[in-house]
Structure 1
Amino acid sequence: MDVYVLRNFLAIAEHGNMTHAAEALHISQSALSMQVKRLEGELGKQLFVRHSRHLALTDEGQLLKQRAETIVGLMDKTVAEFHALDELGGGEIRAGCAESHLIGRFARAFASFREDYPRVRIDITSGGTDQVLGLLARDEIDLAIIVEPPHLDRYHFIEVPGTDEWGAVVRADDPLAELGEVTVDDLVGRELHISRQSLTEDLPRWAGPRLGELRFLGHYNLAYNGAVFVREGLGVLLTFRHLIDCHPGSGLYFRPLSPPLRNKMFIVWQKNQVFTPIVQRFVEHLTAVLGRAGHVGLTAEHGDTAGGEVASEKAGRKGGKPAP
């Protein structure tokens, strides 16, 4: 199976039309059609269903598309890495990042790294911890930035200094905006938004056995999208401080959870990872810059509930609306 043919197959799948794909690839339609026939013959499966005006992938075609994207991507990555061997001052660093204001520390480390390597580039993919670790496992990124403890048998890591604080994002006209902090009691009976990962990994540390009393309207991948629903009067968003614009005049308020719930952030890479020279230098730079204040190679405790049991309602929680 030729990578060149796989690239052409992906072009046909993208355009959904043999003629348009051939024009984009600058080859004849007959040559492209012959490649598809040979590919179908090699695999013993039909890859496209031919309609009057377009081509649609069969189930087998969809499977090949997924595999071809991976194969072509790895081929391009391999070529780029070998080119980078002779270009230590440049090259690309690929990172997958969970949402956190602590990403600022990573960005500042990259900025200082560029002082010595001004031609280096950064490619950032945003997603939840499961998503970015999946990319790391498939060698589609060099580093994963996650907000839960890494598995010591799989990863080397740097613990990023600082923590993310959990809270509730609500509209200005929501009764919760009048509170200084939010407890489980305050959220019972409310419709909540939270990421699926945090629902299983983080919220149980805070709500404990009362988790079953909470009702969830929806799940989000990026907190911004959850905030859009909150602005429309649809529920309460549970997320980290600093991710959503809650400045005065924004119409939204952030209220911290009580007892506090916090997460640590980690930069991880696989133990068997083979880096390009520029990525290796960057990891060494990260270790020097963040490792002094953070933790390299040994897992620290992942956040806490800083008060253990869910606290009873504190006296004096109500009474003039606190600042957003």
Structure 2
Amino acid sequence: MELRQLYYFVKVANREHVTRAAEELHVAQSAVSRQIHQLEEELGVKLFVQKGRNLQLTPVGQLFRKRAETIIGDLERAVVEIHEFMDPEHGEIRLGFPHSLGIHLIPKVVAMFRRAHPNVRFRFKQGMYPSLIKDVIKGEVDLAFISPLPEKVEHICGDVVLTEKLFAILPPGHPLSDETSIELSQLKDESFVLFRDGYSLRPIVWDACLKAGFTPQIAFEGEETDTIRGLVAAGMGVSLLPEMALFQIGPFQPAKVEISSPEVSRTIGLIHRSNEKLPLVAKVFHQYLLDYFSDSLSGSK
């Protein structure tokens, strides 16, 4: 069975006439009739019956048309995807990231990139640390921001692009809320609002508290930075969040205080599959991100 036979068959099925199908295909009528006849012989069924001057699909012909149209549609989409893959000014970039980066960083870098590449589309996928690694390995996303950068994970490679300080966040009116900076040990008697297990920020905060000489007392657990921030603002406890998770305005916000000791930070990595090439459009975006963070780092010195 040849792809040409499927094209001819679908065209005749839609036009219900060999001559009109041949005119659209810009081939001889005899060529169309011959391909349809060969297709019917190979399948061992009649796909059309004569009805006046037109052709009508048989029941099995109707069934076969659905499959043929699916095959042709998939092939046409594959051709489009290949062209997009090779064109840095078009196509789609599939980007994964944790929720904490979706508040400020992702909108900022995507908006800046699209000013220079307005025809590029993005498909976003938020996730936790393990799911982001899995999404990259399975090819669900081309690139993913992740914290921290995974070490020695098969089929994964990447770079640390950013190191970000964590700040203490306190309820408004807390005795320490007006301080310029505090030592983390000053919060040893406080109740903490933390991310639940599986989120990369939880062990960072937990280890920092242990380093400061105490085990944090957990009052509440959450899954999003908005939840953590809101619970702290409501007086349910204290917490630590990276600065990028604190780009919010409005009357109901926690106080943000720098931590002088111990130094608490997280690294953010940018990962992709190590065993295959990135689509060209994703490769351009990847290089843009590396340059962006390199320039940001240079500017901060």
* TM-score normalised by structure 1 residue count: 0.56
Does the 8 Å CA contact 1:102/1:265 hold for their aligned counterparts? no
1:102–1:140 CA distance, 2 compared to 1 (3 A): closer
* Aligned twin of 2:285: 282
Give % identity. 17
Structure 1 runs not aligned, ≥5 long: 1-75, 296-324
Which moves more between the two structures, 261-270 or 211-220? 211-220
The one-character-per-residue Cα deviations of 1:231-253 (angstroms, maximum 9, x if unpaired) are 33211132112423566854521
What is the alpha-carbon distance in structure 1 between the residues aligned to residue 143 and residue 116 of structure 2? Answer: 20
The equivalent residue for 1:222 is 224
**Which structure would you say has the larger Rg?**
2
Counterpart residue identity of residue 284, structure 1: Q
Listed as ranges, the matches of 1:159-170 within 5 Å are 159-161=160-162, 163-170=163-170
The one-letter amino acid paired with 1:281 is: V
- Does the CA-based 8 Å contact 1:94-1:124 persist in structure 2? yes
Is the contact between residue 185 and residue 209 of structure 2 (CA under 8 Å) also seen in structure 1?
Answer: no
Q: Work out the CA distance in 2 between the residues paired with 1:269 and 1:94.
A: 11
CA 1:202 to 1:294, structure 2 compared with 1: closer, same or farther past 3 Å?
A: same
C-alpha distance after superposition, 1:248-295 (max 9, x if no partner):
854521112231211222111121144333223322333444456679
Corresponding residue to 2:257 among 255, 258, 261: 255
Deviates more, 1:181-190 or 1:227-236: 181-190
Matched residues in 1 for 2:250 and 2:238: separation? 18
Q: 1:82 to 1:289 in 2, by over 3 A?
A: farther
Question: How far does the alpha carbon of each residue in 1:139-163 deviate from its partner, in whole angstroms, 9 at most, with x for none?
Answer: 21111101213324543223324x3
Note the residue ranges of structure 2 that are not aligned, 5 or more in a row.
Answer: 1-72
Amino acid at match of 1:156: C
**TM-aligned CA distance change 1:84 to 1:113, over 3 Å:** farther
1:207 to 194, 209, 216: 209
Q: Which amino acid aligns with 2:138?
A: R
Match of residue 124 from structure 1: 124
- Count of aligned positions: 219
Shift of 1:125: 2.3
Q: Deviations over 1:207-238 (max 9, x none)?
A: 33566531012222211111222233211132
Within the candidate set 79, 83, 86, 2:83 is matched to 86
- With structure 2 as the length reference, what TM-score do the two structures score? 0.60
Q: CA deviation at 1:173?
A: 1.9
Which of 266, 269, 275 is residue 269 of structure 2 equivalent to?
A: 266
1:112 to 1:190, Cα distance in 2 relative to 1, 3 A = closer
Aligned partners of 1:191 and 1:231: how far apart in 2?
13
Deviations 1:101-135 (A, max 9, x none): 69866655544543553211112223332332232
Distance (Å, rounded) in 1 between the aligned partners of 2:244 and 2:116: 31
CA separation in 1, counterparts of 2:177 and 2:125?
A: 33
Q: CA RMSD in A?
A: 3.5
Instruction: Provide closer, same or farther for how the CA distance between residues 233 and 284 of structure 1 changes in structure 2, counting only shifts above 3 A.
Output: closer
Change (3 A) 1:199 1:217: farther
> Which structure dedicates a bigger proportion of its chain to helix?
2
Q: Which residues of 2 match residues 57-76 of structure 1 at below 5 A?
A: none
